[in-house]
Chain A
Amino acid sequence: MPSSIRFFHFASPARFYALATRWSPALWVLAAVLAAAALYIGFFVAPTDATQGDAYRIIFIHVPAAWMSMVLYLAMALWAAIGWALNARLASMFARAIAPTGAMFTFLALWTGALWGRPTWGTWWVWDARLTSELILLFLYLGYLALVDAIDDTRRADRAGALLAVVGSVNVPIIYFSVKWWNTLHQGASITLSSAPTMAQSMLIAMLLMTLAFWAYAFAVVFKRTQAIVAERERHAQWLTTTRKLETA
């Protein structure tokens, strides 16, 4: 049988490095165009909300940031686990590269949530299930970053980080379902697969476009940071030194 399984084709840091260089400009352009479209629709097409006034416009970044915070955590835990289980170097590097951007989106979900909660709920913060579990997510990211940073042996740090990331991933469904499982101040899911959206179409489109923009952005930043990590860890590898010498020659 010919080797039809090419899973590991891009698992080589060398191939990834070249691929990231080639695709990054397109990802940045995509992120910028999508974000511009989302901002235009969000601020100039979507109407003022009947009950929340214009404060609701925070939704166009709050919900995408909150989604990214959870998606990136799961991606980080998955890559960390693959890096641990299969001893795949690049997978562990992905996990490390995702963490800072995931932490940033978690912070932004909390920050924009506070600035939205103040005018609509009358408070910046409540210790309810949704907000508290999202705060725990931020601590998980920061704990992961501190842990891998504190261990000098790179691969040992990867494994310790993987354990933390995998155990911590229990928190993600808790965040997602918290508005169903507990009575909270936070409203329910904005969009579910089982029911029609409850918001105006222009609002929905702006939010989805911003979500796609954040996805493209996350890929672009994570690719960049992974390249940095590859350059740090594989600086003695011949493929990289040859590439670099050709670049700087």
Chain B
Amino acid sequence: MTWASASDFFAMGGYAVYVWGAYGVTAACMLIDPILAARRHRQALRDMDDEFEADDDLDATAGVLS
């Protein structure tokens, strides 16, 4: 095993700032990207639902008028 203890692992041989700085930002970016994509998808589907409702309202109105 490379590491004597957990603190030894986190110290990364004195390069903790560089190694964890690289991995931390990478992890954060790779989490945010799919979250934004999923949110965009949900928003697009919600917009579609709103249009259905608007269409239904329009149909209802047309029904009353006819």
Interface residues of A (CB under 8 A from B): 43-44, 46-48, 53-55, 57-58, 61-62, 65, 100-101, 104, 107-108, 111-112, 115-116, 118-119, 217, 220-221, 224-225, 227-229, 231-232, 235, 240-241, 244-245, 248
Contacts and interface: CB of A to CB of B under 8 A. Distances in A.
Given A54-B15, A111-B25, A231-B48, 6 more contacts: A61-B23, A111-B26, A115-B18, A118-B18, A241-B52, A244-B48
Contacts of B23: 58, 61
Contact of A44 (B2, B12, B13, B49): B2
A54 B34 contact: no
Contact of B41 (A47, A53, A116, A224): A224
B11 to A, nearest CB: 9
B29 A47 contact: no
Chain B interface secondary structure, helix, strand, loop or mixed? helix
Given A54-B12, A54-B15, A100-B33, A231 B26 contact: no
B38 interface: yes
The 6 closest A-B pairs by CB, nearest first: A231-B44, A54-B13, A228-B41, A228-B40, A55-B15, A112-B22
Contacts of A232: 40, 44, 47
A220 B26 contact: no
Contacts of A118: 18
B17 to A, nearest CB: 8
B58 interface: no
Given A44-B1, A108-B25, A228 B44 contact: yes
B64 interface: no
A221 B25 contact: no
The winner among A54, A57, A116, A217 for most chain B CB atoms within 10 A is A54
Contacts of B52: 241, 244-245
Q: How large is the interface on B (under 10, 10 to 19, 20 to 34, 35 or more residues)?
A: 20 to 34
Given A225-B40, A235-B48, A47 B2 contact: yes
Nearest to B3: A44
Contacts of A107: 29
Interface in B7-35: 9, 12-15, 17-19, 21-23, 25-26, 29-30, 33-34
Given A115-B21, A235-B51, A104 B33 contact: yes
B45 interface: yes
B37 interface: yes
B2 A231 contact: no
B47 A235 contact: yes
